[in-house]
Amino acid sequence: MNSLRTPLILFTLLAAFSRSNAATPWASLFPEKMLTKGGTTVDRDTVLGNKIVGIYFGARWCGPCQAFTPGLVNFRNQNSEFFEVVFASADTSKSEQLNYMNEKHMNFPAVECKTQAYSFLSNKYGIRGIPALVIISPKDGSVITANGRGDVTSRPGTCLADWIQKGGITFVDPPVISSFTADRKIYKGDSTTLQWSQTGATSLHLDPVGEIEANSKSLTVSPNKTTTYTLTATNEAGTVTKTFVVEVLVFPDLPEPGQA
């Protein structure tokens, strides 16, 4: 079990944030495509989601960064369910940046060095020296603390829970569909009732029917042919689906009277 679960129970966390708001701050801060240690790109909103983000300003040539980075990587790996790092590189070249990311096993996205994206972040947060770690809320892009480096270094076991409380953030588990059933076979012209049990969804979609009430538990359908029904449950933490196939049988044609 993640060590954050227990601290979460101890706090009364404030407002939940919606799926539509979760990615909004990232669009105003980071490029849509972000760099990986392999030199490829990753989608910003996919990798950051609704996690707390620590913008890490550092570089390979920086001795204090060399000392701090392994602890940050370890902290991120232990808390990746709730926390992600964006490396804002002050390296002298892309190749140096990628070498550094690979040497230190930085399995998180980065802003490429010597780009407008890096200059924007450095100026926005008034970075005057590195290493620096600015902790950003997924609710609205506000700064939870500019002293992330000190927090991760001195109290790695408690700082994430403190950031969550200070930022008024609520993390929600993805929805769960525990069952989705109906009659497996019906004759054409007959009906069957799809029934399901789910928890945590704020919206439900039943394909090919469309949107249905989030608190609904069943729906009667009359398919004209064999149909695959897909139930999709969604909340701010994610989306899950479950399918069920209703096979539609056709009565055989009866022979005309007097025919064998």
* The pLDDT value given to residue 12: 30
Burial of residue 99 (CB within 10 Å: 0-12, 13-18, 19+) is: middle
- Among 169-183, 206-220, 238-252, the range scoring the smallest mean pLDDT is 169-183
**Would the CATH topology of 5-167 be identical to that of 176-249?**
no
Greater confidence (68 vs 2) lies with 68
Each residue of 208-244: pLDDT tens digit? 999 999 999 999 999 999 999 999 999 877 789 999 9
* The pLDDT value given to residue 164: 93
Query: What are phi and psi for residue 211, nearest 5 degrees?
Result: -65, 140
> Does residue 93 contact residue 174 with C-beta atoms inside 8 Å?
no
pLDDT at 15 over 70: no
* The pLDDT value given to residue 236: 75
Mean pLDDT within 84-88: 98
When pLDDT is cut at 50, 70 and 90, the band that residue 138 belongs to is very high
* The pLDDT value given to residue 212: 96
Q: Which of 2.60.40.10, 3.10.20.600, 3.40.50.150, 2.70.98.40 is the CATH number of 176-249?
A: 2.60.40.10
pLDDT at 10 over 50: no
- For the chain, the structural domain boundaries read 5-167, 176-249
pLDDT at 251 over 90: no
When pLDDT is cut at 50, 70 and 90, the band that residue 167 belongs to is confident
Question: What dotted CATH number matches 5-167?
Answer: 3.40.30.10
Mean pLDDT within 102-125: 98
Residue 131: name the closest of 178, 181, 85, 190 by CA.
85
Amino acid at 84: E
